[in-house]
Every structure is written in structure tokens, then in C-alpha cells.
Amino acid sequence: MAQFDDLVPNPEGGRVDWRAIETAFDWFRSLGNCPQDPIFHAEGDVAIHTRLVVEALLDATKWRELPVSDRVTVFWAALLHDVAKPATTRTDAEGRVTAPGHSRRGQIMARRILWRMRVPYAQREQICHLVTHHQRPLHLIERESPERLLHEISYQTRCDLLAILAEADVRGRTCPDSGRLFDAVELFRELARTQNCLDRPRDFASAHSRFLYFRKPGRSADYAAHDDWTGEATLLCGLPASGKDTWLAANARGQAIIGLDDLREELDIDAGDAQGAVVSAGRERARVALRAGRPLLWNATNLSRDRRRGLIDLFADYRAKVRVVYCEAEEQEIFKRNEARERPVPTKALARMLDHWEPPDLTECHALDVVLN
């Protein structure tokens, strides 16, 4: 943690210790070998661009005026915003250099880096989703209905901090359309202000109104949804050995419990094997419970947003309100607990899970509990 905070210069003339950063982080060193499109990034490779973005951030009055914790958050977002470009950069048939998907991939890479540095959960997730959305202010206003995506962003990170990062991103590049990009950032900031989500999540009439809004395109954010859903479904998620079973033992009274670990044992399927049969069996048992009106609890890793979406769709089909419980522990503790299990998850399988690790947020569910072990 000392390294995390100490690398951030003070706003009164402090400068970045690039030697310390290069020495400490192999992911940063890899940026120097990654090319960029010479039209929109004529300044050079990703390392050069990242340095320029961070230096531009330090010169920005808006960044210098932030509280200390917010300055640290945006500094690290700037340092990590293109961390996935070496893994995603391609040269197309016409010779153009692109990095498709680098923002979402960068979010996942940043999470693993910051988790291992023991950055506090809330601050880590702010940084990760600044990485997720760092390009959004440059293009959001061009969308036909930008408000919906803006509202989603506001539940994952702060739009005011995102605008500061985006301005630094533009100042840290040499491109022919910088004026248009600065205008786009200001329009993003103004839209967030008019939508009352510049520095906070967008308000909804109720949790149910919010849940339906993010599930149904075209619904008004101001609509107060009639709430006649009576079912209950709880989705546990988190890395293996992160504390899900402990939480379940203390909180699962009277619920129909579907545990994929139990199903794997019942079906004699290892955690490292294909899981289609396990998930299918679990979904069928969930339908039986939901049809009977029983409160349901689904216990599995459910690490990616895409994986959770399929289950939440199933619960919603039966008009069950969705509560997500996310459990997390430190890396050393997870590996220690996993090794002590009777049937531990193979190390390679656990490493693969980290490549899809996206904690949940309130755009997915009615209620969210974060349990930090």
C-alpha cells in the first residue's frame, strides 16, 4: 500500500518517479514495445502516450484541486488506462494499428494488479472502471441515446473523475481532432451534470425501477415501476475460497440452495473439466424452486458479468427479485484456503478465472452486498 500511495506526486510541483515505476512493474515496461496508430497517436508507442497522459494530468487544475484519495484514484487510472494494449493490439489488412477491447480487458488486468497491491476495494473498483470507460467521454455524445450508458457508468465510477481522465488522455496524444475531443469531453460533463450523476450514481424511484430500467431498452429513467414481484433469488459470487460457503452457512436458512460444487461432486465432474452439464442441472433445479415460489440461493463463482446475466435473466423470468452477494479475500488467503480444501480448484483453472473477473454492481440487481473477508 505504501508503494501505491507514494508513487503519486503531490499537486504542488511534484513529479513522477518514472524510474521507480519502470523498476517495479513489468506491465508498465511492456507498454514500450507496443505500437499505436500513427494518425491518432503520432506521439509514439503506448509507454510514451501513458507518460504524456500522466504528466498532463499533473498539470491539470481540476486534478490538483481534488481531495487526496481522488487524486490517487485518477493518477492510477491514468497510469493503467492502456495497460491491455500490448495484449490486444493488432495490425489490420490495411496496415492500421488497433487495440480492440483494450478498455474492458484493461479493467480486468488493472483489478488483478491492484488486488495484489492490496488497494481498498471501493477505490480499486473506481480505478478499474475509469479504465473500463476511459474512451467513453470522447464518443458518448455521438450515440443516439447516450443517457442510458451514462447512467450505467455512474454506478461503476464517478463521471467527474472520468472527464478529468479523458481530458488528460487527449492532451497526452498527438492527433488531428483534439479540438473535437475536448468538446466531446465537455459535453459529456454537461450531460452528466444535467442527469444528476456527475459525482454520484443516478437516482431512481426504487430499486425495482432501477433494475427494470437497465434490463429494458427504451424505458424512462424517471419512471416509477409498479412492483408486484414476490419471488426472491440470491446469487452468490466470488473467487473460489473467498468466503461464499461461510456466508451461506450463516445466512441460507429456509432457501433452496443450488451449489455448483455440490453438483460437481454429485455428477463426478472436476472443476477443471467442462461445466455445461453442471450448470444445466443447476438451472433445472432453480426452475423447480422458482415455480414453487421458494426463495432461491445459487452458489457459484459467477465471476463475469456475462455469466451472471444468464442466471439473472432466469430469475427475472419468474419475477424473483435479485440480490447479489459478492465475497472477496486477499490473494494469499484464497490460495491458502483453496489448498486446504478436500477438492481444491486446480491452480491453472484459478488463474484462468482471474482473466474473467468482474465484480457485480447495482445495474445488475435489486440489491448488492459486498463481503470482504
Distance separating alpha carbons of residues 343 and 271, to the nearest angstrom: 9
What CATH number has the domain bearing residue 352? 3.40.50.300
pLDDT of residue 271: 62
Average pLDDT over every residue of 5-29: 92
CB 136 within 8 A of CB 187: no
pLDDT band, very low/low/confident/very high, at 221 (cuts 50, 70, 90): very high
Cβ contacts of 292 within 8 Å, gap of 6 or more: none
Pick the last residue of a domain from 147, 174, 194: 194
Final residue of a structural domain among 170, 194, 218: 194
Higher pLDDT, 2 or 67: 67
| Mean pLDDT computed over every residue of the chain | 93
Q: Are residues 325 and 280 in the same domain?
A: yes
**Claim to verify: residue 134 and residue 71 sit in the same structural domain:** yes
Lowest mean pLDDT among 100-104, 258-262, 355-359: 258-262
> Is the same domain home to 170 and 300?
no
Query: Among residues 177, 201, 128, 185, which one has the least CA distance to residue 363?
Result: 201
State how far the Cα of 244 lies from the Cα of 335, in Å rounded to an integer: 15
- 118 with 169, same domain: the answer is yes
Report the share of the chain in percent with pLDDT over 90. 80
Whole-angstrom distance between the N-terminal and C-terminal Cα of the chain? Answer: 18
Same-domain status, 238 and 169 = no
Contacts (Cβ under 8 Å, ≥6 apart) of 175: 39, 40, 41, 42, 181
pTM above 0.85, yes or no: yes
The answer to whether residue 267 scores a pLDDT higher than 80 is: no
Q: Which domain holds residue 324?
A: 231-372
pLDDT interval class at 274 (50, 70, 90):
low
Q: Say if 224 falls within a structural domain.
A: no
pLDDT at 293: 92
Same domain, 248 and 103: no
What local confidence, expressed as pLDDT, does residue 277 receive?
Answer: 81
On the 0-12 / 13-18 / 19+ scale of CB atoms within 10 A, 217 is exposed
Number of domains observed in the structure of the chain: 2
Distance CA 117, CA 27 (A): 14
188 and 237 within one domain: no
pLDDT (0 to 100) of residue 272: 63
The 10s digit of each residue's pLDDT in 337-357 is 989 888 888 888 888 999 999
Q: Same domain for 166 and 238?
A: no
Q: Measure Cα distances from 358 to 50, 105, 142, 297 in Å.
A: 24, 10, 27, 20
* Dihedrals phi, psi of 369, to nearest 5 degrees: -115, 130
Give a yes or no: residue 319 inside a domain.
yes
- pLDDT category at 27 given cuts 50, 70, 90 is very high
Question: Can you say how many angstroms the Cα of residue 128 is from the centroid of all Cα atoms in its chain?
Answer: 6
CB 265 within 8 A of CB 341: no
- Better pLDDT: 281 or 113: 113
Give a yes or no: residue 210 inside a domain: no
| 42 lies in the same domain as 156 | yes
For the cut 60, the answer to whether the pLDDT of residue 2 exceeds it is no
Asked whether residue 254 is domain-assigned, the answer is: yes
Same domain, 109 and 241: no
Alpha carbons 273 and 241: distance in angstroms, whole number: 19
Residue 269: is its pLDDT beyond 80? no
What CATH number does residue 41 fall under?
1.10.3210
Are the beta carbons of 132 and 108 closer than 8 angstroms? no
Q: Which pLDDT score is estimated for 189?
A: 98
Any domain includes 209: no
Task: Specify the 3-state DSSP secondary structure of 94.
Answer: coil
Which among 33, 66, 69 has a CA at the least distance from the CA of 50? 33
Alpha carbon distances (Å) from 367 to 216, 323, 324, 364: 18, 5, 6, 9
In a domain, 214, yes or no: no
**Are residues 102 and 55 part of one domain?**
yes
- Per-residue pLDDT, averaged over 240-262, amounts to 89
Closest to 302 measured CA to CA, from 291, 286, 318, 288? 286
Domain boundary pick from 194, 221, 239: 194
Q: What is the pLDDT of residue 239?
A: 95
Mean pLDDT of 4-32: 93
148 & 275 share domain: no
Helix, strand, coil tally for the chain in percent (to 5): 55, 10, 35
